[in-house]
A and B are shown apart, each in its own frame.
Chain A
Amino acid sequence: MKWLLEFWRSSIGGKVTMAVTGLLLFLFVLMHMLGNLQFLAGPATINAYAEFLHSKPALLWVARIGLLVIFAVHVRTGIRLATQNKAARPVGYAVDATLRADWASKSMLLTGLTTLAFVVYHLAHFTLGWVHSRDHNSNNVHAMMKHSFGHPGIAIVYVAAQVLLFFHLRHGIRSLAQTLGLNHGRYTPMVAILSLLLAAAIAGGNILITLSVLLGIV
């Protein structure tokens, strides 16, 4: 335990923690997006999927608690690293130049924090029914999604959150490969493209669902 804590506290240990938890969260959001796509197949499909998940409470709770821990570690470590990074440059440059970085790579803390805010809202909305509770209905997920995304205000929040998540993953996926020590003349350029495609697929898939309701297609 002491060994692990010492590893986590080091710079590279913190980075590796971000990469491992980031990878697991990425795999989760990918599966989550694919699961959501069943909405487009109609009420029977997605409601059966929801029922299937709820029929395995033990598994569901292990997954929920596991995710929560992974998420908490990712957030806690991300904030620590970002704080250290700020402290490492007490006086900035009068002329701020950027040679290679892009908005995605420079805004990881921002896009991470907006994702955190969105996840809290999303859980309060669909899982707990604390907000927009009139739409809440765990027995008919399809109806719940349809009602909610019919409100332009709610739909816009969901779409905006996905755009910000896109930027987080657009840098995050290529970045985690480098953090885990994968750098190779042939594969690194491929990973960079894959990072863009996977981030676009995750955000795009979720946005497709939201817009299909808002625009009255489903």
Chain B
Amino acid sequence: MKVTLNIWRQSKASTKADFRQDGKLVRYQLDHVSPDMSFLEMLDVLNEQLTQQGEEPVAFDHDCREGICGSCGVAIDGVPHGPERGTTACQLHMRSFQDGAVITVEPWRAAAFPVLKDLVVDRSAFDRVVQAGAFISVNTGAPQDANAIPVPKADADRAFDAATCIGCGACVAACKNASAMLFVGAKVSHFVHLPQGRVERDQRARNLVAAMDREGFGNCTNQYECEAACPKEIPVRVIAELNREFVRAKVREEPVVDKGRGGDG
């Protein structure tokens, strides 16, 4: 099959002052694309062609190519990971497109995800959110018996719905406001349904939201584009849970006690 690609090419990394830099859409033609290729394999073919012509290949992120690592991610005709629901770009096949299709490929668009080059964005904002408390702080020691702490099946399922998040950033990319609340909601929901995670629930909710706000993500307006774009189909229920957890944690927050300068504190 033949496809025409409009790909965002940007040689310099985005900065706060100049997000767009020299970026622009560039048109490429591919005449021998197999419908069995994945979308990324199609880009590999393009890059081979560009390399042979002595041009700079298109930079894009990828690693596992089996839909589990969350590295890949481009907006295909404006939709993160492309037209197939619940599918990462690496698992998307060219048979999902018409022969002769014109396909526009752009990087995730968010202030919190500056473009590094072409289709590659810096998603370390997610790492900083995770570092703010999306984990359980216990010394693990020797492995426990798997059934030492019983977890009801329904709770385990809810936690697992959220734990399937691969951190690809499609939720932010799809959101009309570039909000990260599906991602942060997934982290909060993942832990709050499990007894081990519940111990630090208050500080986790407060710290994750504070970290999210520092990164400059937008605010959710409940339009659910994130749920529709998420390759793991994480439900927006986790955002309602995030809202609940945050309000609960803020209400329960103890006032900061000023023990006085030079006191015995």
Footprint of B on A, CB under 8 Å? Answer: 3, 7, 10-16, 81, 84-85, 87-101, 105-106, 108, 171, 174-175, 178-183
Q: Are B223 and A183 in contact (CB under 8 A)?
A: no
The number of chain B residues with a CB under 8 A from chain A is: 52
Chain B residues whose CB sits within 8 angstroms of the CB of A12 once the complex forms: 209, 242-243, 246-247
Other than A12-B209, A85-B179, A178-B239, give 11 A-B pairs with Cβ distance below 8 A.
A10-B210, A11-B213, A85-B177, A85-B178, A85-B221, A88-B112, A88-B217, A95-B78, A95-B104, A97-B79, A179-B243
Q: Are A91 and B20 in contact (CB under 8 A)?
A: yes
Main secondary structure of the interface of B (DSSP, over half): mixed
Chain B residues whose CB sits within 8 angstroms of the CB of A85 once the complex forms: 176-179, 218-219, 221
Q: Are A101 and B225 in contact (CB under 8 A)?
A: yes
CB closest residue in chain B, given A179: B243
Chain B residues whose CB sits within 8 angstroms of the CB of A90 once the complex forms: 19-20, 111
Q: Are A181 and B243 in contact (CB under 8 A)?
A: yes
Chain B residues whose CB sits within 8 angstroms of the CB of A106 once the complex forms: 176, 223
CA distance A100 to B244 in the complex (A): 24
The residue in A108, A175, A183 that gathers the most chain B C-beta atoms within 10 A of its C-beta is A183
Q: Are A89 and B255 in contact (CB under 8 A)?
A: no
Q: Are B222 and A179 in contact (CB under 8 A)?
A: yes
CA distance A130 to B181 in the complex (A): 45
CA distance A171 to B220 in the complex (A): 13
> What is the distance, in angstroms, from A30's C-beta to the closest C-beta of chain B?
21
CA distance A141 to B75 in the complex (A): 57
Chain A residues whose CB sits within 8 angstroms of the CB of B179 once the complex forms: 11, 85, 88
Q: Are B216 and A88 in contact (CB under 8 A)?
A: yes
Chain A residues whose CB sits within 8 angstroms of the CB of B177 once the complex forms: 84-85, 88-89
Can you list 27 A-B pairs with a CB-CB distance of less than 8 A? Answer: A7-B250, A12-B246, A13-B246, A15-B219, A15-B220, A81-B221, A85-B177, A88-B110, A88-B111, A88-B178, A89-B110, A91-B19, A92-B109, A95-B77, A97-B77, A98-B225, A99-B174, A99-B228, A99-B229, A100-B223, A100-B224, A106-B223, A178-B239, A178-B243, A181-B244, A182-B240, A183-B239
CA distance A105 to B175 in the complex (A): 12
Interface residues of B in 219-265 (CB under 8 A from A): 219-225, 227-229, 236-237, 239-244, 246-247, 250, 253, 255
Chain A residues whose CB sits within 8 angstroms of the CB of B247 once the complex forms: 12, 16, 181
Q: Are A178 and B106 in contact (CB under 8 A)?
A: no
Chain A residues whose CB sits within 8 angstroms of the CB of B213 once the complex forms: 10-11
Given contacts A7-B250, A100-B228, contact A94 B6 (CB under 8 A): yes
CA distance A13 to B104 in the complex (A): 37
Chain B residues whose CB sits within 8 angstroms of the CB of A97 once the complex forms: 77-79
Chain B residues whose CB sits within 8 angstroms of the CB of A89 once the complex forms: 109-111, 177-178, 218
* B136 interface contact, C-beta 8 A: no
Q: Are A11 and B219 in contact (CB under 8 A)?
A: yes
CA distance A15 to B78 in the complex (A): 27
* B159 interface contact, C-beta 8 A: no
The residue in B19, B209, B236, B240 that gathers the most chain A C-beta atoms within 10 A of its C-beta is B240
Chain A residues whose CB sits within 8 angstroms of the CB of B58 once the complex forms: none
Given contacts A16-B247, A88-B111, A181-B244, contact A3 B106 (CB under 8 A): no
